[in-house]
Amino acid sequence: MPIETRDNRTLTVAAVVLATLAVLAALYFARTLFIPITVAGVAALVLAPIVRLLCKLGLPRVVASAIVVLTAGGLVGVVLARLSAPAADWFARLPEAMIRLRYIFREVVGALQNVKQITEDMAQLSPGKENADVVVQGPDLTQIFLTNTGQLLTIILVTAILLFFLLANGYLFLRKTVHIMPTLSEKKRAVEIGRDLQVEVSRYLLSITAINLGLGCVTAATMASFGLPDPLLWGVMAATLNFVPYVGAIVTAGAILLASVLTFSAPLEAVLPTLAFGALTALEGNIVTPTLVGRRLSLNPVIVFSCVLFWGWLWGVAGLLIAVPLLVVFKILCDHIVPLQVVGEYLSSLPPAQPTSEESSEPAVRTN
């Protein structure tokens, strides 16, 4: 191999590595800019079928988009206003929940913790205790949010405006792409890929959103049947965090367990709500979602978990929530573009298709 060729390949690899690092740095340090754009894009794919339905009913696209954005924003605002106070109260009682959890299950963790120390901790929490030296006080969730209120409101406002423009413009980007294609066959191919992508991604994300909302409703009803306070809070938490595979269900189950130990005194009563939620998530993940969504878009669990870790590290909570939708969009894109189909094969959890008998049979060698 000539020296020039090796040097060129080395320079190419170095350029790719530097470009990747530059993109990661830009995504991290400019996340205030990129998070609203990404969230608005994902939300537009979810809400696009609703806008198309309103347009079929005779509404102008701009009016339909405004109705959808205002309705979605109003619902989110009402839910946040309704649940902010209960969430802050439970968050402030987190240290107390941890101590009660150790106390209730002292027989299990007795080998690791001193029972006498646990009893003293519980005595310090007793309302009749006088001259208590230690008061368990959790962090103030309201104060945490107030410190970032300006930035949070800015991100929400920018996301809503971008979402409106994306919904109102419809197929604008697809028409621009078709316009720049040089030949008629490429134009037709671009239209086919663009429409299939938008329909499949919208259908998938809308289905997942509906499933998560159903899980949230069932979770809220289940927690109410057990007598756990603020069942709506646990339902909203279950529906929202279910967009984060594996991690979301674990966090929700842990929150329900901590709330249960603050509410119920008997260990069995404290465990039952968590076990019930675990059964609901198992039913949703193994039966409901595969049945309604199908297995064609099933993703490799290793890739999914790695993607969740990456976007969570890069963008925090927002990255955790949009990691899987972004991966699904990329998977569908890979399935429709021939050079990327190899990447799509690695993203899928389905086993490779077995060759048919005709494909697997080797041609016979003729001998004279």
118 and 221 both lie in a single domain: no
Whether residues 339 and 257 fall in one domain: no
Question: CB pairs under 8 A, 24+ apart, for 293-300?
Answer: 293/204, 293/207, 293/208, 293/211, 295/350, 296/350, 297/204, 297/328, 297/331, 297/332, 298/348, 298/349, 298/350, 299/324, 299/327, 299/328, 299/331, 299/347, 299/348, 299/349, 300/346, 300/347, 300/348, 300/349
Specify if 180 maps to a domain. no
**Which amino acid type is present at position 173?**
F
Quick check: helix, strand or coil at residue 30? coil
Is 16 within a domain?
A: no
302 and 249 co-located in one domain: no
DSSP string, 260-304: HHHH-SSHHHHHHHHHHHHHHHHHIIIIIHHHHH-STT-B-HHHH
Q: Report pTM.
A: 0.73
Q: For residue 287, what pLDDT is reported?
A: 85
Could you tell me if 110 and 54 lie in one domain? yes
Residue 39 CA to residue 76 CA, distance in Å, equals 14
At which of 294, 312, 337 does a domain end? 294
> Rounded CA gap, 302 and 325, in Å?
16
Looking at the fold, whether 230 and 112 belong to one and the same domain comes out as: no
Which amino acid does the sequence have at 255?
A
Statement to judge: residues 55 and 161 lie in one domain: yes
Is the domain of 154 the same as that of 46? yes
Residues 212 and 274 in one domain: yes
Does residue 15 sit within a domain?
A: no
In a domain, 239, yes or no: yes
Question: Residue 215: inside a domain, yes or no?
Answer: yes
pLDDT in tens, the chain (368 residues): 455 566 677 777 788 788 888 888 888 888 888 888 888 888 888 888 888 889 999 899 999 999 999 998 888 888 888 888 888 888 888 888 888 777 766 655 554 445 455 555 555 554 444 444 444 444 554 554 445 556 677 888 888 899 999 888 877 777 777 778 888 887 887 787 777 777 777 788 888 888 999 999 999 999 999 999 989 999 999 999 998 888 889 999 999 998 998 888 777 888 899 999 999 999 988 888 888 776 656 778 888 888 888 988 888 888 888 888 888 888 888 887 878 888 888 888 766 655 555 444 444 444 44
Is residue 242 assigned to a domain?
Answer: yes
**Is-contact 325 243, C-beta < 8 A?**
yes
The total number of residues shown for the chain amounts to 368
CB 205 within 8 A of CB 290: no
Gap between the Cα atoms of 277 and 275, Å rounded: 5
Question: What are the helix (H) ranges across 147-246?
Answer: 149-169, 172-180, 184-226, 231-241
In a domain, 85, yes or no: yes
Domain count, the chain: 3
φ, ψ at 348 (rounded to 5°): -80, 150
Specify if 86 maps to a domain.
Answer: yes
Beta bridge partners of 64: none
Both structure tokens of 117: 């120390």
> For residues 193 and 174, is the Cβ–Cβ distance under 8 A?
no
Residues 328 and 251 reside in one and the same domain: no
Residues 57, 150 share a domain: yes
Identify whether residues 255 and 335 lie together within a single domain: no
> Which neighbouring-strand residues pair with 348?
299
Domain with 281 in it: 205-294
Domain end, chosen from 294, 322, 341, is at 294
Same domain, 162 and 211: no
170-to-60, 65, 97, 180 alpha-carbon distances in Å: 12, 10, 49, 18
